[in-house]
Amino acid sequence: MRFICSRLLPRPLRSRVYSTIPGSSQNKIYALPFKLDKDKAHELLDMAASTYRRPFVTAFRMLASAITRQPLLPTDGAQNLTCRPAYIPFWYYDFAASCTTTTMVPASVPGDSESNAFTEPLLVIGLNCFWPAHNWNPLTYLSFGLPHGFDQDELVPFDSVTLGKQLDNVEPEIIPFTESPFTAVIDRLRSIPSLYLRLVDPRLSIDPRSVKLEFAAAYPLYWPVYIAEFDAPPRRRSGMDNAEVETRKTVILSAHNLDPRLCSWDPYRRGIHQWMNNGTWASVDVTDPVWKLMPLGNTVLRQFEKRFVEEFLGEYPFGGEEEEKEQKEGVAESRNVAVKKGIDWSDQRILAYPLHQRFNKEYVEAMFTWRAKEGMLHSISKMSDDTPTFGLGAQKTEVKNVGDMKEELVREIEVAKLEVEEKKPASRRYVLETTFLVYPHSFPLPTRPYSSFPLPIHPFYLQRIKTLKDEVEKANERADTAEGKLKAAEQDQLAKEHQIFSLQNRIKNLEEDLVKAEDKIKSMKAIEESDDSAKNQNEAMARKITLLETELDNAEKNLRDTTKNFREADVKAEHFERKVQQMENDISERDKKYEELAAKNKELQTDLDRFNDELNDL
């Protein structure tokens, strides 16, 4: 197994990038600029290497730094450090899919072996879900989803020339787009195996034939990172000899802000678990609230989400065949395979994130509200209209009849449908195309059928119409020319603003470094003047650390005792619950006996009255 940097750092990717990203995609791909310079990245990597080499010592040093409020500095640098800036491609995608669920509820009558089946419609939505856009294993298992957040206003249109000049004398590697979420996820939703759509507890299943894709959109993005490797502590090899093996640590450092997130790779794990600090892959929600109500947090939604990520998505071939072919036939051959895959950038579902994601999110959320109300109406459709229900109203708890709730839900569903139609992206594009004839600032012109003009048109008006058409065409040409100049000016202004922003950040970082250097000089002078007091402080700190360790041991002991008491209390609680259940069963049997005795008493009383009447007649 070889490390990531051995695949990415030694060989340039620029020639392949320009051939796999066509010009038609430039207005769809956005990127985050580099904000973390290389010196700051090396400082953070030195700290990470020190932490991996001496984790316990670093923990105590962090505690001491928190107490003394002194900056934590690495004890030693990273050995044999290899660091390279790069742009990693990925996708955020939104989707909405409908399906039909079947829940098996045990029979309520004792002795009845048959279960009741309840079938309900369900809408599943996912917003800002993550999918890798490349096949560089194991980077394919690294997610930049939450909590890897970013400010949407910082996104800029992708330009390899402009973005490649952000770092001094170092051009970042740009990994090309080769994978699409439509092929890997969206199109596979229609053919999910039924094995992934069943649960045992509770007994719930989804009909795979009912799965229907309602909406899908994907947004290509580039994430700036530093890919680094350094020497790690030796690892003992499993076996008879138990010998130590030299290892290298691979880390990915985000570079889109000054407080980056560091992800480390563990080659001895598989799938998404081989990356520490990995982000989320799918942020899913459903219209059925019962899916989110389960004890101990093990909800139905959580179980299906875990299956979706670890089993359904985890089985996708992340370039495994390309890996084997690369080892057998060489690197160039596997590159050609990656290029042949390609991405259809003309697909209307591929959109620019800052321009379309907010509108698509509003549309999906409106669809979610509509389907949730329809699901609620479906769940109470078989109930009697005079059945009272208890729930939360606008400001307080309310009791309503099912009939009133049905009427209210029908009205709300109609309003929700109208809102969905208003926020539908396709309808918006249709309105823009059919309302404005030339450009968006022109007024809409009414259209009338030819039969509304029964009289012949005068030649003067025909000539006038022709002249107006020529003027409109010339105006359109001038508008196109002006629009092109405006776009060029906007691009130039954007580039200048980016340069200004980069210079401002560099000045700010230099000022901060200057302030830190002055503070260090002052602190060093103070240390030289008060060496004895510093020694006393160090001794006091050592005593404090010893005291804290003692308190920590006591706290751990108390925690173990408390945990033991909680377990005993749980056992007692379960015992009492069984007793309560047994008593409830006894009460139920006694109630049944009492009802039978009451019925017999009533019959005897009736017979006695009848016998008295007969005696009176005699």
pLDDT for position 54: 67
Mean pLDDT across 192-199: 73
pLDDT for position 499: 83
**For the chain, percent helix, then strand, then coil, each to nearest 5?**
55, 15, 30
Q: Where are the domains of the chain?
A: 5-34+79-108+116-236+245-351, 354-382+399-448, 560-618
Question: Structure tokens of 455?
Answer: 């009289």
Contact 142, 175 (CB under 8 A): no
Distances (CA, A) of 159 to 19, 30, 172, 179, 602: 14, 9, 12, 20, 93
pLDDT for position 203: 78
pLDDT for position 319: 45
The residue that leads in pLDDT, 153 or 444, is: 153
Lowest mean pLDDT among 110-119, 398-407, 453-462: 453-462
HSE value, Cβ hemisphere, 13 Å, CA-based, for 372:
17
pLDDT for position 435: 29
Contact 94, 215 (CB under 8 A): yes
Nearest Cα to Cα of residue 212 among 182, 186, 194: 186
Other beta carbons within 10 Å of 402: 17
The residues near 386 (Cβ < 8 Å, ≥ 6 apart) are 401, 402, 403
pLDDT for position 433: 34
Contact 545, 63 (CB under 8 A): yes
DSSP tag of 293: -
Question: What are the φ/ψ torsions at residue 388 (nearest 5 degrees)?
Answer: -80, 145
pLDDT for position 78: 74
Q: Return the H-helix or E-strand segment holding 516.
A: helix 459-529
**192-201, 338-347, 549-558 — which one is most confidently predicted on average?**
549-558
- pLDDT, one tens digit per residue, over 243-268 is 556 678 889 999 888 888 888 888 88
- Indicate yes or no: pTM above 0.75: no
pLDDT band at 331 (very low <50, low <70, confident <90, very high): very low
Question: Structure tokens of 484?
Answer: 């092109």
Mean pLDDT across 568-582: 89
pLDDT for position 13: 37
Nearest Cα to Cα of residue 255 among 5, 465, 86: 86
- pLDDT, one tens digit per residue, over 466-495 is 777 788 888 888 888 888 888 888 888 888
Torsion-angle region of residue 319: left (phi > 0), alpha (psi -120 to 50) or beta? Answer: left
Distances (CA, A) of 368 to 21, 226, 280, 361: 35, 39, 22, 10
Contact 180, 25 (CB under 8 A): no
pLDDT for position 220: 94
Contact 123, 97 (CB under 8 A): yes
pLDDT above 90 covers what percent of the chain?
15
Cα angle for residues 549, 552, 553 (degrees, 5° grid): 90
Other beta carbons within 10 Å of 362: 14
The residues near 221 (Cβ < 8 Å, ≥ 6 apart) are 29, 30, 31, 32, 89, 90, 91, 92, 155, 353
Burial 162-187 (b: 16+ CB within 10 A, else e): bbbebbeeeebbbbbbbbbbbebbbe
Residues in a beta bridge with 263: 252
Spatial separation of the C-alpha atoms in residues 410 and 392, rounded to whole Å: 19
Mean pLDDT across 416-442: 54
Question: Structure tokens of 463?
Answer: 């000539």
Lowest mean pLDDT among 307-311, 364-368, 495-499: 307-311
pLDDT for position 504: 82
Cis upstream peptide for 12 (omega within 30°)? no
Contact 33, 154 (CB under 8 A): yes
Mean pLDDT across 109-131: 76
Distances (CA, A) of 143 to 42, 63, 131, 591: 23, 31, 7, 60
Q: What is the mean pLDDT of the chain?
A: 76
Lowest mean pLDDT among 84-88, 134-138, 311-315: 311-315
pLDDT for position 215: 92
pLDDT for position 214: 92
Distances (CA, A) of 93 to 90, 181, 359: 10, 7, 13
The residue that leads in pLDDT, 376 or 114, is: 376
Other beta carbons within 10 Å of 268: 7
Distances (CA, A) of 157 to 29, 31, 222, 224, 501: 6, 6, 10, 14, 15
The residue that leads in pLDDT, 201 or 540, is: 540
DSSP 9-33: SSS--HHHHHHHS-GGGTTT-EEPP
- For the stretch 233-238, contacts whose Cβ atoms lie closer than 8 Å and that sit 24 or more positions apart, written own/partner, are 233/52, 233/53
Cα angle for residues 223, 228, 230 (degrees, 5° grid): 165
The residue that leads in pLDDT, 616 or 13, is: 616
Q: With a cut of 50, say whether residue 452 has pLDDT above it.
A: no
Contact 100, 207 (CB under 8 A): yes
Nearest Cα to Cα of residue 139 among 82, 179, 88, 181: 88
Other beta carbons within 10 Å of 444: 9
Q: With a cut of 80, say whether residue 588 has pLDDT above it.
A: yes
Lowest mean pLDDT among 26-35, 347-356, 418-427, 506-515: 418-427
- pLDDT, one tens digit per residue, over 58-101 is 666 666 666 666 665 666 677 888 888 999 999 999 999 999 98
Contact 255, 225 (CB under 8 A): yes
pLDDT for position 323: 42
Contact 27, 352 (CB under 8 A): yes
pLDDT for position 179: 87
pLDDT for position 234: 73
Lowest mean pLDDT among 180-189, 240-249, 506-515: 240-249
Spatial separation of the C-alpha atoms in residues 471 and 464, rounded to whole Å: 10
CA 343 to chain centre: 23
- pLDDT, one tens digit per residue, over 292-302 is 876 556 788 88
